[in-house]
Structure formats: structure tokens, C-alpha cells
Amino acid sequence: MRLVAQIGLAATLMMSPGAPLTATAGVTTSPSSSDDGKGPIPKALKKVAWLRILPGNPRQASHVRIFVHCPKKANHAIIGSTAFQLKGSRRIYREVGMGFSDRGLGHRGVSISYYALPGWHKALLKCVKVTINKKTRISRTRVLGRDAIPLYVRRFSIWQYFG
């Protein structure tokens, strides 16, 4: 099977034009600073909230990495799911809080419980701005963005630890 894939790749590379046949004198292109992926976030995406969980289909009793982007005005993110429940807890749904950078990006590691039921779960993101009146100590929470993604939890297997 690998041989077939390699032959197909070689045929594609041979048939593609690759570099232009005529060279233009004096024209050189240098990579711009935005090509490295560390450039500014595009203006259209600054107000969009998104959530990503890796790996996409974790097993029970494993850890996942949560990546979040919230609008710049938000100062806190809340991620909730039934897959994050704790051992011995009667609560089925657990919410995890997260702070993030000035650009609105954040990441955190969370464990998937051994007691989480296998199957599909929903992970919900709320980007909030919390303001506290220092005199009365009354907090006001305003939701600025939401996102939801499906999360598939696979059955626990002891063999995942043995190569």
C-alpha cells in the first residue's frame, strides 16, 4: 500500500509545474513576517469566540488540552462538559474556568474522568466579562461570546499504556 502511495506522489510531483521555467532577473521574493504564524490576528476574527480540544476523541481517564480564543473585551472563559466530571462527585456537569492573554488566547489541561460515560458529549464555551463594584462587592457578569463543539469519549483501555 505504501508503494502505491509513493508512486502516486512521485507522479504528481513530476507532472506539476513546480518552479517557472523562465527566470526573471532582479526579482527576489523574501518571506514576509506574517508567514510564520505569529503575526497579528485578522480583524474579522478578533470578535469571534472559538474552542478546540485536543485530542479530538480521548479515552476515559486521560488528559486533554483546551485551546480558547475570546474577544479582547472578555476577561474570563468558562468551559463546561459532562466529560469533565470528578470522581465521587454527584454533579454530572463540570465547569472549568480559564484566564487568557491580552490577545484573548488561552490554554489549559483538563482530565477526562474514568467515570465519564463513553460516547458523545458537548463542550460549551462562554466568554465573559466580569466587573466588580469595589464598594458594594457586587459582581456583574456579561457574556460576550459562546461556542460549542462535540467531544467523543472512548472506552478506557489498559493497553493504551503498553505501546
Q: For residue 89, give the C-alpha cell.
A: 462527585
- pLDDT for 8: 57
At the topology level of CATH, where does 49-163 sit?
Answer: Immunoglobulin-like (2.60.40)
Q: How far is CA 74 from CA 68, 78, 88, 129, in A?
A: 12, 11, 33, 5
**Domain locations in the chain?**
49-163
How confident is the model over 64-81, as pLDDT tens digits?
A: 999 999 998 999 999 999
Residue pair 112/83 in contact (Cβ under 8 Å)? The answer is yes
- pLDDT for 4: 52
Give the 3-state secondary structure of the chain.
Answer: CHHHHHHHHHHHHHHCCCCCCCCCCCCCCCCCHHHHCCCCCCHHHCCCCEEEEECCCCECCEEEEEEEECCCCCCEEEEEECCCCCCCCCCCCEEEEECCCCCCEEEEEEEECCCCCCEEEEEEEEEEEEEECCCCCCEEEEEEEEEEEEEEEECCCHHHHCC
493504551: which residue's cell?
Answer: 160
Task: Provide, rounded to the nearest whole percent, the portion of the chain with pLDDT above 70.
Answer: 77
How confident is the model over 89-105, as pLDDT tens digits?
A: 888 899 999 988 888 89
Residue pair 92/146 in contact (Cβ under 8 Å)? The answer is no
Residue pair 150/121 in contact (Cβ under 8 Å)? The answer is yes
Task: Provide, rounded to the nearest whole percent, the portion of the chain with pLDDT above 90.
Answer: 47
How confident is the model over 124-135, as pLDDT tens digits?
A: 999 999 999 999
Residue 30 predicted with pLDDT over 50:
no
